[in-house]
Amino acid sequence: MTGFFLLQSANQLALTATVALAHGAGTPPGIAVAVPRITDAAVTIDGRLDEAMWAGAATLRQFSQYVPNDNRPAEDSTTVLVWYSPTAIYFGIRAYQDSASVRATLADRDKITGDDYVEILLDTFDDHRQALVFGVNPLGVQADGTLLDAPRQIATTLSAVSTGAYTLDLSPDYVYESKGHPTAWGYEVEVRIPFKTLRYQARDPQDWGINVIRIVQATGHQHTWTRVLQTRASFLAQSGTLTGLTGLRRGLVLDFTPEATSTVTGGPLASGWTYGGGPRIGATLRWGVTSNLTLNGTVRPDFSQVESDVPQIQFDPRQALNYPEKRPFFLDGLELFQTPIQLIYTRRLVDPQGAAKLTGKIGATTIAVLSGVDGTESSATGTDHAIMNALRLRRDVGGENSLGLVYTDRVDGPGFNRVAALDGRVGLGDAWALTIQGGGSATRDSAAAPVLWAPIWRASLVRSGRSFGLTVTSRGVGENFRTSSGFISRPDVVVNSATPSYTIVGAPGSWLESFNANVYLAMNWDQYRHFSAGHAADDRQADFSTGFTLRGGWQVGLAWSIESFGYPAPLYANYWVERVRGAVVDTIPFTGTPRLPNLDWAASVQTPNFQNLLLSASLLVGRDENFFEWANAHVIFGNLDLAWRPTGRLRAELIYEHQQVIRPDDGSTVSRIRVPRLKIEYQLSRPIFFRFIGQYTSNETDALRDDSRTNGAVLIRDPVTGAFTRTTSTASNAFRVDWLFSYRPTPGTVAFLGYGSSLVEPSAFRFAGLSRVSDGFFVKLSYLFRM
């Protein structure tokens, strides 16, 4: 069988697949494949499918195009071979294409999105709720995580990139083996996934859902094994099935990971440069209680961030910034804590002294429980150890429907915050899906304070369609709603929105592969009581977006916004205005212009993923809010992301963020933020890499004035003392440098050695007169003992 496949050319196989799909064959959703069980297997994972076992494997072929356009034959053919032993499941991948067009680099884990790659999706509970993802590039470099259904992303104001109807979270790391190599006809990869790594059903025999996604960078196309249609609301429901899996032996699942960390940080004092810190010893234990339940515990773990967060600039001060979880203990089973509203946000545990969690599935019920004791630095008093508990339950209710419950509790000395909510998802035919969540919070800040109650809700109705799509959403956050264990981007708000979209599909072979146009229509009440009292909406938005997907992987977007925003009085409660009348200086309250009309224009472009280069850029200009002074302003928002891969081992990425707010009357700049960030990585081997990150943040703010009314100077009133302070011009220019050596042969076994330094200078981007204000050294050693 091996020789048979090797003798066929890529063109012959592609022609076979094309003819089959053109006649309506292909691989239909729901197809069942019986996978052979081979008990005396002795396979070396070397990336070559030449052992005898592969000749008897089940075969998955006849892939279809899914993105940008579905229901078409894949232009490149793919063959996936599957078999299993008592302790692991094996996949062999043969991806056919012009060998000169194959993108393959020796990348770090989860950094293969610039390469060609294949993702194996395993729905081990066969419930169409989520899938574990095992990705490999042509060299076998891994990228893994979880995949969940989600509305298909359409063009937005600053992006024209369209994706499939799912979200992919690459945060989890799984232990599995993979190796691959380029060939004269494409590439070949071999994968072994041990059952110890997986959670699966407690039955024998059992069926698993499966699909395979292949990304071809030369065309920008995404292929799937089963024919997945964009007209369906669920991506996972269109998978195939591996049937009759029996005699799976997981054995004892007991992972023990001791770790030693030393962090030393320094800063200048009057007596000289002083360093503090020291070693920290911790350990994490993972126990597979059953094949579908896992218990994790940790004591004094290392929760330092090895990967620094990508810069985000806050424009609207009412919106909080969200940063993803990256800490190892939380990542295992993190997807089981997800809810429509992010009521469980594990980064709320800042420095746990100890934590435990139980995750898995019993029958049709998914269970996720987390409990942790935080350090004193996150306490409101600075002396108490806050205790955080979180419970997430979800019950499958036939088909793609589900019911869920979430409860969180954080006790911080005499204060507490408790949140409870119910949620549900209902599939309304193939194209429609309704998701609802509603609940409330109870909060007490101190022993003498009253308990504050407040509601929260979110409802979303989504229609998926090849031509017409629609998303209708309503969400509200009560005035006193708090979540000390979750994340809410903006409190005390109600937003009702509708986003109709229309997509035009280009003819096969044409320069236009797809065109999407949509409009985001929204009414916002910036205070919950305005909505409950029946007042008119404070903000009204009509944001028009278009996206063009061109042959070869080009993405171009154009957008414009027509908006009107009402004065958010609570945001300026401590603003006052200085009024000069001759020799008399008086102060008056800052009342703000009642309404600001906006008109913005935006454009974005993303190149194909060339052999060595990928560029994306966006620009927004126009008239928007000047939140510093609550006045109209000319704004310039720019973003540039350039990824360069000069060799298969060296990678460089330059990100530049620019935000500028300009007064229209005299052209003066109210605020300007510029953040360039350069990351360079050299991959010495698959487990070893060196990384440098340099990030410069220049932030300038002018002295504020009542620009829309009196033009008087803005004063800030201290709410405690009542004293007034006149605003002045400020500027900061900070340069941060981080170096890291990383050795990570498998998830859990790591050796990190890092150094970081923060510097400042008086003038932006001069790199002259830089003075060091802090630095630190970081060492981490951990080893995964798998029993």
pLDDT score, position 20: 38
**In this predicted model, what pLDDT tens digit does every residue of 49-79 receive, in sequence order?**
999 999 999 999 999 999 888 989 999 999 9
**In this predicted model, what pLDDT tens digit does every residue of 696-707 receive, in sequence order?**
999 999 999 999
Q: Where are the domains of the chain?
A: 2-245, 333-491
**In this predicted model, what pLDDT tens digit does every residue of 166-199 receive, in sequence order?**
889 888 899 999 999 999 999 999 999 999 999 9
pLDDT score, position 401: 92
- Name residue 41's beta-bridge partners: none
Q: How many helices (H) and strands (E) does the chain have?
A: 4, 44
CB 138 within 8 A of CB 118: no
What is the C-alpha to C-alpha distance for residues 434 and 426, in angstroms, rounded to an integer?
5
What is the C-alpha to C-alpha distance for residues 189 and 104, in angstroms, rounded to an integer?
12
What is the C-alpha to C-alpha distance for residues 251 and 233, in angstroms, rounded to an integer?
38
Q: How confident is the model at residue 305 (pLDDT cuts 50, 70, 90)?
A: low
Q: How confident is the model at residue 277 (pLDDT cuts 50, 70, 90)?
A: confident
Q: How confident is the model at residue 269 (pLDDT cuts 50, 70, 90)?
A: confident
Percent share of the chain, pLDDT over 90: 75
* Pick from 377, 362, 409: nearest CA to 390: 409
* Pick from 390, 405, 284: nearest CA to 339: 405
pLDDT score, position 9: 35
Over 70: is that where the pLDDT of 8 sits? no
What is the C-alpha to C-alpha distance for residues 112 and 170, in angstroms, rounded to an integer?
11
Tokens 């089959």 belong to which residue? 20
Over 80: is that where the pLDDT of 614 sits? yes
pLDDT score, position 17: 37
Q: Does domain 2-245 have CATH number 3.40.50.2300?
A: no
CB 106 within 8 A of CB 690: no
Over 70: is that where the pLDDT of 744 sits? yes
Look over the chain and give the mean of its residue pLDDT values, rounded to a whole number.
90
**In this predicted model, what pLDDT tens digit does every residue of 629-659 receive, in sequence order?**
999 999 999 999 999 999 999 999 999 999 9
Instruction: Please compute, for residue 14, the number of CA atoms within 13 A of its CA located in the half-sphere on the CB side.
Output: 14
* Pick from 678, 666, 677, 672: nearest CA to 702: 672
**In this predicted model, what pLDDT tens digit does every residue of 522-545 receive, in sequence order?**
999 999 999 999 999 999 999 999
- The mean pLDDT value for 288-294 works out to 94
**In this predicted model, what pLDDT tens digit does every residue of 748-780 receive, in sequence order?**
899 999 999 999 999 999 998 899 999 999 999
- The mean pLDDT value for 241-261 works out to 94
* Pick from 222, 236, 215: nearest CA to 150: 236
DSSP category for residue 107: P
Over 80: is that where the pLDDT of 242 sits? yes
Percent share of the chain, pLDDT over 70: 94
What is the C-alpha to C-alpha distance for residues 387 and 417, in angstroms, rounded to an integer?
11
pLDDT score, position 7: 31
What is the C-alpha to C-alpha distance for residues 703 and 762, in angstroms, rounded to an integer?
18
**In this predicted model, what pLDDT tens digit does every residue of 68-123 receive, in sequence order?**
889 899 999 999 999 999 999 999 999 999 999 999 999 999 999 999 999 999 99
CB atoms within 10 A of CB 30: 12
Sequence-separated (6 or more) residues with CB below 8 Å from residue 515: 503, 504, 506, 546, 547, 548, 549
Over 50: is that where the pLDDT of 474 sits? yes
CB 778 within 8 A of CB 756: yes
pLDDT score, position 160: 61
Name the more confident of 223 and 300.
Answer: 223
What is the C-alpha to C-alpha distance for residues 386 and 373, in angstroms, rounded to an integer?
6
What is the C-alpha to C-alpha distance for residues 29 and 84, in angstroms, rounded to an integer?
22
Over 90: is that where the pLDDT of 3 sits? no
Name the more confident of 573 and 301.
Answer: 573
Residue by residue, DSSP assigns 450-511 as: PPEEEEEEEEEEEE--SSEEEEEEEEEE-TT---SSS--SSSSEEEEEEEEEEEEEPPTTSS
pTM confidence score: 0.89
**In this predicted model, what pLDDT tens digit does every residue of 350-378 receive, in sequence order?**
888 999 999 999 999 999 999 999 988 88
pLDDT score, position 11: 37
Say which range, 18-22, 241-245, 415-419, 589-593, has the weakest mean pLDDT: 18-22
pLDDT score, position 309: 59
Three-state secondary-structure class, residue 371? strand
Q: How far apart are the first and last CA of the chain?
A: 37
Name the more confident of 591 and 393.
Answer: 393
Q: How confident is the model at residue 307 (pLDDT cuts 50, 70, 90)?
A: low
What is the C-alpha to C-alpha distance for residues 341 and 363, in angstroms, rounded to an integer?
25
Sequence-separated (6 or more) residues with CB below 8 Å from residue 361: 125, 199, 292, 293, 367
pLDDT score, position 316: 72
Q: How confident is the model at residue 161 (pLDDT cuts 50, 70, 90)?
A: low
CB 503 within 8 A of CB 467: yes
Over 80: is that where the pLDDT of 390 sits? yes
Q: How confident is the model at residue 24 (pLDDT cuts 50, 70, 90)?
A: very low
Over 50: is that where the pLDDT of 13 sits? no
Over 50: is that where the pLDDT of 619 sits? yes
Q: How confident is the model at residue 14 (pLDDT cuts 50, 70, 90)?
A: very low
Name the more confident of 331 and 313.
Answer: 331
Instruction: Please compute, for residue 137, the number of CA atoms within 13 A of its CA located in the half-sphere on the CB side.
Output: 22
**In this predicted model, what pLDDT tens digit does every residue of 497-513 receive, in sequence order?**
999 999 998 888 899 99
Q: How confident is the model at residue 272 (pLDDT cuts 50, 70, 90)?
A: confident
Residue type present at position 164: G
